[in-house]
Amino acid sequence: MIERLDGATRLYLILGDPIAQVKSPLGVTQAFQQRGHNALLSPLHIGPDDLGDFITGTSRARNLDGLIVTVPHKFAAHRHCASATARADLLGAVNVMRRNADGGWYGDQVDGLAYVEALRKKGFEPHGCRALLAGAGGAGSAIAEALIRAGVASLAIHDEDPDRRDTLIARLASLELGEVTAGSRDPAGFALVINATPCGMAESDPLPFDLAGLAPETLAGDVITAPEVTPWLAAASERGCPTLRGVEMFAAVRELMVEFLLDTSH
């Protein structure tokens, strides 16, 4: 329940296209108010062509303190940040932005940190494992970076856009922390297989991976929050695989976002 909403309420917005699938407005608003902050997160449906003008225009709003960014804006939003964390700059993407004292935007990308945290909470330690990731977009790139920093033995990345995949591989290789290669839809031989593509949001979507090579000891993950159990996770579960749902990742994302948005140290 929202306990306070008045003229002194500080505003935060979540921007996406589409936006109906997001689950963060209520949970983030409750987290703000549980911490004693009179603040509200509201969803806004903004298309790619309008994002730049929207951020520029809303930057003039004196009671707007932060933005959360979702599909498909994470890369474009980074270009509107006056400054960002090192990981956000490496990836060229952000999923959260807060207002600097000078009015500029400071960004971060916490999807990857949250995914690794959710894996460990599930009892899965990524250090030393072989991982396969589908999707080199905003969430996928962040998860890839976090897995490399968590010490996976190797990471294979599959994306339908080979240029986007290769760009991410090159960025991660520059860290010199682990083996990063181009992958495929075949999950055979991997201990961790994650879908970070939109495949599964619609019933007609194809599965992101071939099921023939999926072993029952492989952990199958997804970033999609609606539906909570995607066709990929349902198929993996039927084969005896442990799974990590997008909503489990989002619980960790929400806490990291709130901490970032309310941090005034930068």
254 domain residue, yes or no: no
Number of domains composing the chain: 2
Residues 181 and 221 in one domain: yes
In a domain, residue 233? The reply is yes
* 185: nearest Cα among 156, 208, 206, 218: 208
CATH number at residue 61: 3.40.50.10860
> Is residue 74 annotated as part of the catalytic site, yes or no?
yes
Q: Residue 102 has what pLDDT?
A: 87
At 1 the pLDDT is: 67
- Cα dihedral across residues 167, 172, 176, 179: positive or negative: negative
**Same structural domain, 76 and 140:** no
**Do 233 and 131 belong to one domain?**
yes
In this prediction, the residues of the chain whose per-residue pLDDT falls under 50 are: none
**Residues 149 and 24 occupy one common structural domain:** no
Catalytic pick among 23, 74, 121, 122:
74
Residue-level pLDDT at 161: 97
Are residue 119 and residue 190 in the same domain, yes or no?
yes
Backbone φ, ψ for residue 27 (5° rounding):
-65, -40
Answer yes or no: do 147 and 210 share one domain: yes
30 lies in the same domain as 134 = no
Helix (H) or strand (E) segment spanning residue 154: strand 154-158
Range of the domain at 49: 10-108
Are 50 and 99 in a shared domain? yes
Q: Which of 54, 82, 108 is the last residue of a domain?
A: 108
Q: What is the pLDDT of residue 72?
A: 94
